[in-house]
Amino acid sequence: MVDQAFIEQQNQEKHVQHQRRLAYCFSEIAHAEAIIEQLMAFQIAIPSWALGAGGTRFGRFSIGGEPSTLNQKIADIGLIHALCQSANAISLHIPWDIPQDVAATKQLLAQYGLSIDSVNSNTFQDQANQPFSYKFGSLCSHQAHVRQQAIQHNTDCIEYGKALGAKIHTVWLADGSNFPGQQHFRHAYQHTANSLSEIYQSMPTDWTMLIEYKPYEPNFYSMVIPDWGTSYSLCQQIGSNAQVLVDLGHHLPNTNIEQIVGRLTHFGRLGGFHFNGSMYGDDDLTTGSTRPFQLFLIFNELVDAMTDSTVTNPPIAWMIDASHNTKDPIEDLLQSVQNILVTYAKALLVDRAALTAAQLNNDVVSAEELLRDAFATDTRALVSEAMRRAGGCLDPIAAFRAVAGRQRLIDARGKLSVATGL
Sign of the CA dihedral with 54 first, then 56, 57, and 60 last: negative
- Up-side HSE of residue 319: CA atoms within 13 Å toward CB? 32
List the x/- string, 94-123, binding to ligand AFD by CB under 6 A.
--------------------------x---
Which CB, 45 or 409, lies closer to ligand AFD? 45
The one-letter amino acid at 351: D
Smaller CB distance to ligand AFD: residue 294 or 323? 323
Assign 59 to helix, strand or coil: strand
Residues 205-234 that bind Mn ion (CB under 5 A): none
Residues 6+ apart with CB under 8 A from 169: 118, 119, 121, 154, 157, 158, 161, 199, 203, 207, 208, 209, 210
Give me the helices (H) in 92-250, please.
Answer: 102-111, 144-164, 185-201, 228-238
Residue 284 or 395: the one with the smaller Cβ distance to ligand AFD is 284
With contact defined as beta carbons under 8 Å apart, do 257 and 248 qualify?
yes
Out of 282, 332, 385, 395, which residue is the one contacting ligand AFD (CB under 6 A)?
282
Of 269 and 274, nearer to Mn ion (C-beta) is 274
- C-alpha to C-alpha distance for 321 and 249, rounded to whole angstroms: 9
Q: Does 274 bind Mn ion (CB under 5 A)?
A: yes
The CB-of-217 to Mn ion minimum distance in angstroms stands at 8
Return the residues of window 347-386 that contact ligand AFD according to CB under 6 A.
none
SS3 208: strand
The correct pick among 247, 258, 304, 385 for binding Mn ion (CB under 5 A) is: 247
Query: Which region among 8-16, 40-48, 86-94, 241-249 touches Mn ion (by CB under 5 A)?
Result: 241-249
- Written as one letter, the residue type at 159 is E
* SS percent in the chain: helix, strand, coil, step 5: 50, 10, 40
Tell me the three state secondary structure of residue 131.
coil
Alpha carbon distance 238, 303 (integer Å):
27
Per CB under 5 A, the list member of 97, 117, 301, 321 interacting with Mn ion is 321
- Please, what is the minimum distance in Å from the beta carbon of residue 322 to Mn ion? 9
- Give the chain's radius of gyration (CA, Å): 22
- Sketch the per residue contact string, 238 through 277, with ligand AFD: x for CB under 6 A, - otherwise: ---------x--------------------------x---
Measured from the CB of residue 101, what is the shortest distance to ligand AFD in angstroms?
24
Decide which of Mn ion, ligand AFD, none touches 422; Cβ closer than 5 to 8 Å per partner kind.
ligand AFD
Among 112, 134, 160, 172, binds ligand AFD (CB under 6 A): 172
Our CB check for ligand AFD shows the closer of 217 and 369 to be: 217
Select 91 or 241, whichever has its Cβ closest to ligand AFD.
Answer: 91
Partner whose binding site includes residue 120, from ligand AFD, Mn ion, none (CB under 5 to 8 Å by kind): ligand AFD
**Helix ranges restricted to H, 214-328:** 228-238, 257-267, 292-307
Please give the single-letter amino acid code of residue 178: N
The least CB distance from residue 274 to ligand AFD, in Å, is 6
Minimum Å distance from CB 170 to ligand AFD? 7
Nearer to ligand AFD, 247 or 385 (CB): 247
Spatial distance between the Cα atoms of 248 and 237, rounded to a whole number of angstroms: 24
Q: Which does 175 bind (CB under 5 to 8 A by kind): ligand AFD, Mn ion, none?
A: none
Nearest of 333, 323, 286, 247 to residue 56 by alpha carbon = 323
Burial of 289 (0-12, 13-18, 19+ CB in 10 A): buried
Residue 86 or 121 having the CB closest to ligand AFD: 121
- How many residues sit in the footprint of Mn ion (CB under 5 A)? 4
In the complex, minimum distance from the CB of residue 47 to Mn ion, in angstroms, rounded to a whole number:
8
Q: Which residues sit at the interface with ligand AFD, rule CB under 6 A?
A: 120, 172, 212, 214, 247, 274, 282, 321, 422
> Which chain residues interact with Mn ion by CB under 5 A?
247, 274, 282, 321
